[in-house]
Chains A and B, each alone.
Chain A
Amino acid sequence: MFDFDSIPHIKEVSACHGVYDEKNLNEKDPVSFDERQQRSKKVLPDLEEAIKRVGLKDGMTISFHHHFRNGDYVINMVMDVIAKMGIKDLTVAASSLTDCHWPLIEHIKNGVIKHIETSGLRGKLGDAVSHGLMDFPVIFRSHGGRAAAIETGELHIDVAFLGAPSCDPYGNANGYNRDSEEGSCCGSLGYAKLDALYADKCIIITDHLVSFPNTPFGIPESQVDYVVKVDNIGDPNGIMSGATRYTKNPKELLIAQYATNAIVASGYFKNNFSMQMGSGGASLAVARYLREKMLEQDIKCRFALGGITGQIVQMHEEGLVKKILDVQSFDLIAANSVKNNRFHQQIDASYYASYVNKGAAVNQLDFVILSALEVDVDFNVNVMTGSDGVIRGAVGGHPDTAAGASMTIVVCPLLRGRIPTICTKVNTVCTPGRTVDVVVTDQGIAVNPARPELYERFVEAGLPVTTIEKLRDRAERIAGKPEPIKYGEKIVGVLMYRDNTVIDVIREVID
């Protein structure tokens, strides 16, 4: 027995709620764990119920991730339900949008969607936006820029609708399924993680409701409000290809060979280097050629970052790449590796690329290999608008990695069909030339004059080095000088640089 008030200093102890009283105890729940989890109050029968519970209202901001790529069913499914419920004027802040999201066009026309923020647009939706579908221009942010905007609260997400290949009744969600080999698999949930963390409300949409605990998880239950089970979150074939294939295109292989030789000669190719490779044909081939050089010279990579492919996983499993930081898995081999390899770590978008985050992994890169639709003589890169001026790309982590890496290499053919890739002025600036160090084409390598030491090293190594102006001239000599694309006045898209300042705008296309 004790006298509560006589305990010295007890009034000053925080988190002390007085004297224990048996009356306050909850009833003991005698059912089995399995029965109990079946009754989880987080699991709701359908999307409509979940949307009602989170209190979605006109004018709010909702978010989605793009880990299901072109196989995604979630965005269209959720938007259809929202439209049916009569909610209007929403801002859709997706980490990215792609071809399969064309049904959003109707929701935009009907006023359900007022505004879109995304990393990219493609297909019919990109085409429609380029032709003036929306009055509020689409805001394009890099992955790092979006992460920063969410972290600082500037991009406030009211409700995140996040598809997950597996989830337990309490909301522990994952990009793969440890309980079954069936269903879809996207590996890392990197872009979804941050949305779950910062959104006011978070709904997980899954087609595989598995038993608690769904560990190790990509998104923890503490960040999840509701879980909705649906028949299918996506088309597995659209979400993942089995393995990203090596290109046999001789021109891509040639570019890759040049890029590899540039890396080897750059001074950054030494033990414990760090790198990021894209998933384009030439980038993947660089991984293959670099692997040969690593074996030849007994050099190991400390970490590989970014969108991860089977090629990187192979190098990891061979011991050539020690650690993998994976914000997005590009193929099934990569996705399975997230599941099976201890040092294949999924990371969120902020860890990956946010400028607010000083420790962001992009800042630790020795080099990155990036692609481009256009590069101009000031080294500015366009990855957004096609040769007809229509939106058909994504900013992705392009400006983030370019800014962070010690050496940024852009690989592209000198011409695509008849269109020069190296030009006088890019149609849309996505990544500023100041952050691009080397441009590798099939017809020569150009080094940014700001990096004379790289130029020297490449010349020393006998690489085919030239100037960016000469590459542009050569392209125009072969193809002829292209006439400019005709744009209207209306601004249909705004490109935010990674610090969320406006770097360029996209105007309406006139046919």
Chain B
Amino acid sequence: MRALLLCLSLLLALPAFAVQPDEVLDDPALESRARAISRVLRCPVCQGENIDESNAPISRDLRLYLRERLVAGDSDDHAVQAVVDRFGEYVLFQPPARGVNLLLYLAGPGMALLALILGIAFIRSRNRPEEGPAALSADEQARLDRIMRD
């Protein structure tokens, strides 16, 4: 038992693990909003973790701050903006689709469109030889008709 207590005290000194039970809000609707938001906010000191998964103390502070804002009646956007005001746009896992970031958002659809056009052009150009020689001129057609009639 002594050893267990020793181990417990050791554990308590170590970083806490993601969302703790004491952070969870009583109102399930508010809590689920908080969870959804904290999945798109990046832990400022970790390597690519969101604050919902992160064990870092600062992520815990951010989670608590976010909940405070929500309890105070902020909308989702306002709560996120409050965090961004403090830590910069770095904490947003999805950069806002404004300004130069539009390039990021349009790159995929633009590339898809370009690839489709090129693909269709390629298939068309490949097919031309199969269509055989150019259509008969009016003159030739008339001759052919004459022959066929005979």
A and B interact physically = no
Q: Which residues does B use to contact A, with CB under 8 Å?
A: none
- Please give the residue numbers on chain A whose beta carbons come within 8 Å of chain B beta carbons, in ascending order: none
